[in-house]
Structure 1
Amino acid sequence: MNADSAHDATPAYLSRMDTWWRAANYLSVGQIYLLDNPLLREPLTLGHVKPRLLGHWGTTSALNFIYAHLNRVIRRNDLDMIYITGPGHGGPALVASTYLEGTYSEYYPDVSEDTEGMKRLFRQFSFPGGIPSHVAPETPGSIHEGGELGYALSHAFGAAFDNPDLIVACVVGDGEAETGPLATSWHSNKFLNPVIDGAVLPILQLNGYKIAGPTVLARIPREELTQLLSGYGYEPFYVDAQTPASATHALMAKTLDTVIERIRSIQNEARRNGIKSRPRWPMIVLQTPKGWTGPREVDGVQVEGNWRSHQVPLAGLAENPAHLKQLEEWMRGYKPEELFDKNGRLLEDIRSLSPQGRRRMGDNPHANGGVLLRELRLPNYREYAVKVSQPGATTGEATRVQGAYIRDVLKLNEPMKNFRVFSPDETASNRWGDVFEVTDRNSMAQILPGDSDIAHDGRVMEMLSEHQCEGWLEGYLLTGRHGFFSCYEAFIHIIDSMFNQHAKWLKVCNHIPWRRPIASLNYLLTSHVWRQDHNGFSHQDPGFIDHVVNKKAQVIRVWLPPDANTLLCVTDQCLRSRNLVNVIVAGKQPQPQWLSMDEAIKHCDAGIGMWSWACCDDGGEPDVVLACAGDVPTLETLAAVTLLREWLPSLKVRVINVVDLMTLQSPREHPNGLPDSEFDGLFTKDKPVIFAFHGYPFLIHRLTYRRTNHASIHVRGYKEEGTTTTPFDMTVLNDLDRFHLVEAVIDFVPGLRERAAHIRQRVRDKLVEHREYIRVHGEDMPEIRNWKWKE
């Protein structure tokens, strides 16, 4: 793109830009402190100040400074750019900057560009019924929740993938740079293809301090920092705050022009001549005082350039009138009378410095990804069905079947380049190896002759960091694309907190009319607890779903398909959904297949159902209900049914399988909840229910505690007993096996304890036989390994 000389960094232009920066800083301070008197048209009094002062000043001025300079290069080069701010609570800056460019008032017309609108802008910040103190979904132009540190750079690269014209300016705070997710995210540059992807411009903001102490990167020698960043593969450019401010503006402008030129040069070279080697992308290190342009001292103690400026530099205004006076001096120092007209509107000469229309970072459509979202082209999942002539007669690997479907999703959407697969080095392990028939693993690093399925333009994103995969995928989804994340079940916990933030983001977005729905965040959790017998106790943890169901019901779904055909139905449904987090738990090992595709479709549509072919209640009221959720629990439940038929033929047994875990909740608590009348019809109002569950037993009690028959529900699941052992022994250790399920039936069906004492003895003998067999042979008994369902 041709540069516009009208926006060159002349002294006159930079002087005007300094006024824009002053205006942004003024609005930022006003948000933290003021309820009224927004333009200081009268002397400041306590009545004009908020009773509770909340917010963060320390990083704000630097964020405004960067925003002002990015505006210039956007206009100069007609750039398509979004802005991600990693430094925690930088909310005042982004709200102020989008207000100055006009975007904020367009999204929130009541916050108008006048004195009354400015008053509303100030009042709403960190105020009941208002907006948060950090960059949140309510903030135009944001795709990054600023309430938690560490994810900014991963989000930025995720946004840049498959967006060849986009530049993502990403500010990394030096406190944030100490987090594990951020530390690993520097390596994202090894995956950014200059031909098909956009660019990420990291801006490391060194202000020296965290909440109450110095940061690591601000206290190491410049040479060491350069070596570190160069070792990560970047070309660092330094901008140090200087006196006067005009010198800092001039240096920043010159550096940004150089950096944008470098980015364009890298892209143009690769797009003309192909990729010869991995690019060394530029980045900026901006070193400024913490609390820049704020009070230098308060009560004789240093504030600017110190940790004391992190939050509210001047507090206790009611108790200390000197602080109120100092606040007024601070705000008047920005000279609001030179920035806003008599009606409170930004002066036109300053307004004209902002980009126009969709080039404004607050109005860039990539930051409201649903605007750009295109429907996936999905194959007909029925065509991948496993043929099931009768229940259990066919064996299959559910996730391998799913992998063939995902392969063709990639193939069908290759022209649009809007779907990628993410996994921490587990795509093949999780049986999605078929995807490598149509694409490769992505890498811009060195590729050796012996490497397999690796290419510069691969659409499988693998890095041995769950943080990185999650951050990339979130950035990809938030900018209007689709994806899937497969992971070992036990280690998805690594991103518990990242999931939290995304789920909260979606919950808030559901109440913001201008936020368009985005594609759902889809997880496949496999290599699960019941088939981690080879890796042992460290790999056995089904608790992520417990964590997930704590979030707002409107945004979470948990799926436990028992076989391949139900997994196909669920996968298709998840890829079509919007603004959800879908968690699918499915095994990758050979397992019996229970339902034909037609049966699977009906079962998944309901999410829960009675398997009449497995029941022996003569279509009437049962003596006991055997419920199951998960592939291994389903297998053990059906095996228990065959034993009960043989040993207690007169017992009336009903079998219920749960695919959509959230059907167990009351519809008053979850939109997928089964109505009470239907729940009672399935589980009865008073008969014992033995529930074989994939995860921790207490979760079923949490979900069903309001149901009529909750007191009669007895759950068997994982109870933190595991080791390196046989697959069946894992179920035995946790009382989930067929024999313990039969024993539970004897315990809880009235009258059976006395009548079935001989059956209980048989169960105990079988468990001893099992224990002795595996210790001698190292595998499960033939009757376990070769068990088949019989009608």
Structure 2
Amino acid sequence: MSLPLSDALLGRMDAYWRAANYLTVGQIYLQDNPLLEVPLERRHIKPRLLGHWGTTTGLNFIYVHLNRLIKAHDLDMIYVIGPGHGGPGLVAQSYLEGTYTETCPDIERDRNGMRRLFRQFSWPYGVPSHVAPETPGSIHEGGELGYSLAHAYGAAFDNPELIVACIVGDGEAETGALATSWHSNKFLDPARDGAVLPILHLNGYKIANPTLLARITPEELDALFRGYGYEPLLVEGDDPAAVHPQLAAALDHALARIGEIQRVARTAAGDRPPERPRWPMIVFRTPKGWSGPKVVDGLPVEGTWRAHQVPLKDFDKPGHVKLLEDWLLSYRPRELFDAEGRLKPELAELAPTGRRRMGANPHANGGTLLEPLTLPRFRDHAVEVPSPGAVEMESTRALGRYLREVMRLNADARNFRLFGPDETASNRLQDVFEATSKAWMAAIEPLDVNLAPEGRVMEVLSEHLCQGWLEGYLLTGRHGLFSCYEAFIHIIDSMFNQHAKWLKTTRQIPWRAPIASLNYLLSSHVWRQDHNGFSHQDPGFLDHVANKKADVVRIYLPPDANCLLSVADHCLRSRNYVNVIVAGKQPAPQWLDIDAAARHCSVGAGIWDWAGNAGEAEPDVVMACAGDVPTLETLAAVTLLRDYAPDLRVRVVNVVDLMVLQPPGEHPHALSDHDFDALFTRDRPVIFAFHGYPGLIHRLAYRRHNHDNLHVRGYKEEGTTTTPFDMTVMNNLDRYQLALDAILRVPRLAHLASDATDRYWTTMERHRLYISEHGEDMPEVAQWQWTPGTPLA
């Protein structure tokens, strides 16, 4: 246990806190006169006042104390800031420790640099008001609340020497994602992982309301966190002189407890039973807007919701400029900065140095630590396909075997984890359990299987936690994959948004090194959720992803196992993308051998000559498909067309990489107009069977030649508990509909249209009667197999 801090040290720490607070207020308000060298005037104040004051001084207070802990114990520590709108405080802290100037050399550590620091904050083309990618030391985009603690634990997994200090705002604590995140301690292995120190920042208010956790009794609050499995340490007060020694003692106790937990775990026997420790956390209760104006225009501000954003807003009111000047001078800036605007040396020496500064810690710029995965040869896990459609296979099962080897090859490096909400085996990836277990620090009973503290598969029935853990893991320099049922990936739509925005922004920040891509595998997809019903049927995540910037997102729809292996290998090697892979887990025909699959995936779309009959000639119709079930239905439709219209020239085009459909200039993967036309022609009807909502294909290809001849079939929000084939029938994606579409859109087949339409409706009636009576699909559908056709002369 550390000795009590001297009054002199506490006095310097308080001065450092005041310096950070001064810089915080300056960023929110000032565009000139940064050191108040002349009396403050309206012209020195920004015309638009943006930012959040209320939480920031508490964050500054904690940061100063974490610096003391880092220096005293040579800690490897990063921070995650849940109350992200406290951004000016974190910018101020990185400026004081020097990392801001190192990353942004034009923001010097003097008067001119301070002026630029103030002016850029919430200024057009400046820096955001919240903790953002531009903030050195941050791995957490603080614009949206709820994800801080999941990010913190994700950063700590497989980082045995790292401590993540996570400040959780009491407003943020009301979100579902954050409430679930407290359970992350049941997955943190003290023998192999780092530590997370949660600090619940209770300042009592949100924008306009009190916070729940600030209004329950201390006994109830303590019981809540003990129930979560923590040892809560309370620090509270409004007098800095009293709060400084309290927080220092709590942090010393927490650090000693973390060290003891890790020491015991790391010296225990290898086959130790899991003993879940009670990790420390701190409850830090201080006033909202601490050290700011207490009263403005006769209304209380400090300690109320009025301190949340900008306490002084209207500088046309008499006396408000003076109120701001008095507020700034209350920090006694002349005691903090010299005449040139530099932090005084006796204060500057309080900050850690080099990589120990939280703003400069390489874990917070994970790309600098990123090591490539050692990947197996995906060809070694190929499905043997002697001819198209000759064998059936569960595509994701083949991927599971590949991922098993990824786990084995990277076991020592411990830089790859698989994340999913209780669906690893359901999605046919269970072969990974031959190489690792599921991470688990709670009790293990005799009937349990594949649970162990050292497991590398992260399963918890919370998509929020899986996403947050993976993001924290990636942002600190590791690799992973998130497997999820397609319909329920929507639960993390907003989290995906924030990560995609982070990636877009960091591409423009030269000191941010690229990180491993965020890889999604969406299985149990819309077309094979017939047994679970309408609630499980939704392919709309693809539309959501496609909205993002083209230099960030990729969408892949491999039609079979070998294409899936090729795509997965590519995605695990990639950097700074979000890759979405949609693949089925049910037995399905396999179309391409591994060499053909690799070639096909490398270009993203291609003509399957073996499936059509047009050869080198111009086709009468293009039958296009994207997705495994649409591919199956398209090829079945082609066999029907051989009987319905034997002289019809058919070309089959399969699309693996959805983004190739966009025009050049819209996406890096876009096919040239020449190559696009070579696939889809410039004037022939295209019947496009698509995995998702049809509008997405039109949106991607609307500027292409021949778009007017493009007819897309896909999911149209029709579903229920039914048979697999009936799902396609309900959404007009079935083989009979596709064949009819081809006949109706080829002008020279107009004479066949009436009979073809009658045949279609007769078949549909027969289909519905059969499934109603037998509960399964007609034999001609269920037992269908691909048979090669004869190319037309």
Q: Same fold (TM over 0.5)?
A: yes
Question: Residue 688 of structure 1 aligns with which residue?
Answer: 685
Compute the displacement of 1:314 (Å): 0.1
Aligned counterpart in structure 2 of residue 723 of structure 1, from 702, 720, 724:
720
2:553 is the counterpart of 1:556: yes
Secondary structure in 2 matching 1:619: coil
Cα distance in 2 between the residues matched to 1:542 and 1:34: 49
Question: Residue 333 of structure 1 aligns with which residue?
Answer: 330
Letter of the 1:564 counterpart: A
CA contact (8 A) 1:559 1:585 kept: yes
Question: Residue 291 of structure 1 aligns with which residue?
Answer: 289
Compute the displacement of 1:246 (Å): 1.2
Cα distance in 2 between the residues matched to 1:695 and 1:321: 61
Cα distance in 1 between the residues matched to 2:749 and 2:319: 82
- The Cα offsets for residues 720-748 of structure 1, whole Å up to 9 and x where unpaired, read as 00001000000000000000101111222
Gaps of 5+ in 2: 789-793
Letter of the 2:282 counterpart: I
Cα distance in 2 between the residues matched to 1:753 and 1:621: 19
Compute the displacement of 1:320 (Å): 1.0
Aligned counterpart in structure 2 of residue 713 of structure 1, from 710, 713, 738:
710
Question: Residue 300 of structure 1 aligns with which residue?
Answer: 298
Compute the displacement of 1:466 (Å): 0.1
Aligned counterpart in structure 2 of residue 258 of structure 1, from 250, 253, 261:
253
- The Cα offsets for residues 246-290 of structure 1, whole Å up to 9 and x where unpaired, read as 111011111111111111011111111255621000000000100
What is the percentage of aligned positions where both structures have the same residue?
A: 66
CA contact (8 A) 2:381 2:398 kept: yes
CA contact (8 A) 1:616 1:653 kept: yes
Aligned counterpart in structure 2 of residue 784 of structure 1, from 781, 786, 790:
781
2:753 is the counterpart of 1:753: no
Gaps of 5+ in 1: none
Aligned counterpart in structure 2 of residue 644 of structure 1, from 620, 641, 644:
641
2:341 is the counterpart of 1:347: no
Question: Residue 150 of structure 2 aligns with which residue?
Answer: 154
Cα distance in 2 between the residues matched to 1:194 and 1:495: 28
Question: Residue 22 of structure 1 aligns with which residue?
Answer: 18
Letter of the 2:419 counterpart: F
Cα distance in 2 between the residues matched to 1:690 and 1:514: 47
Secondary structure in 2 matching 1:265: helix
CA contact (8 A) 2:191 2:262 kept: yes
CA contact (8 A) 2:238 2:290 kept: no
Secondary structure in 2 matching 1:146: coil
Aligned counterpart in structure 2 of residue 189 of structure 1, from 160, 168, 185:
185
1:137-536 equivalences under 5 Å are: 137-243=133-239, 245-274=240-269, 277-317=275-315, 319-536=316-533
Cα distance in 2 between the residues matched to 1:128 and 1:479: 30
CA contact (8 A) 1:614 1:638 kept: yes
Cα distance in 2 between the residues matched to 1:572 and 1:486: 15
CA contact (8 A) 2:198 2:281 kept: yes
2:660 is the counterpart of 1:663: yes
Compute the displacement of 1:757 (Å): 2.2
Cα distance in 1 between the residues matched to 2:46 and 2:238: 34
Compute the displacement of 1:419 (Å): 0.5
Cα distance in 2 between the residues matched to 1:556 and 1:755: 43
CA contact (8 A) 1:358 1:364 kept: yes
Letter of the 2:180 counterpart: T
Secondary structure in 1 matching 2:392: strand
Q: Report how many residues are paired.
A: 785
1:604-643 equivalences under 5 Å are: 604-643=601-640
Compute the displacement of 1:330 (Å): 0.1
Cα distance in 2 between the residues matched to 1:242 and 1:422: 43
* Length-normalised TM-score, structure 2: 0.98
- The Cα offsets for residues 25-74 of structure 1, whole Å up to 9 and x where unpaired, read as 00000000000000000011111111000000010000000000000000
For the aligned residue pairs, the C-alpha RMSD in angstroms reads 0.9
Aligned counterpart in structure 2 of residue 586 of structure 1, from 573, 583, 586:
583
- The Cα offsets for residues 189-248 of structure 1, whole Å up to 9 and x where unpaired, read as 0000000000000000000000100000000000000010100000000000243x2111
Compute the displacement of 1:616 (Å): 1.4
Question: Residue 768 of structure 2 aligns with which residue?
Answer: 771
Compute the displacement of 1:4 (Å): 8.3
Question: Residue 87 of structure 1 aligns with which residue?
Answer: 83
Letter of the 1:211 counterpart: I
CA contact (8 A) 2:424 2:430 kept: yes
Letter of the 1:227 counterpart: A
CA contact (8 A) 1:195 1:271 kept: yes
CA contact (8 A) 2:140 2:148 kept: yes
2:105 is the counterpart of 1:109: yes
Compute the displacement of 1:751 (Å): 3.5
Cα distance in 1 between the residues matched to 2:605 and 2:444: 48
Cα distance in 2 between the residues matched to 1:426 and 1:667: 38
Letter of the 1:453 counterpart: N
Compute the displacement of 1:752 (Å): 2.3
CA contact (8 A) 1:746 1:760 kept: no
CA contact (8 A) 1:207 1:290 kept: yes
Compute the displacement of 1:523 (Å): 0.3
Secondary structure in 2 matching 1:266: helix
Compute the displacement of 1:758 (Å): 1.8
Cα distance in 1 between the residues matched to 2:705 and 2:418: 43
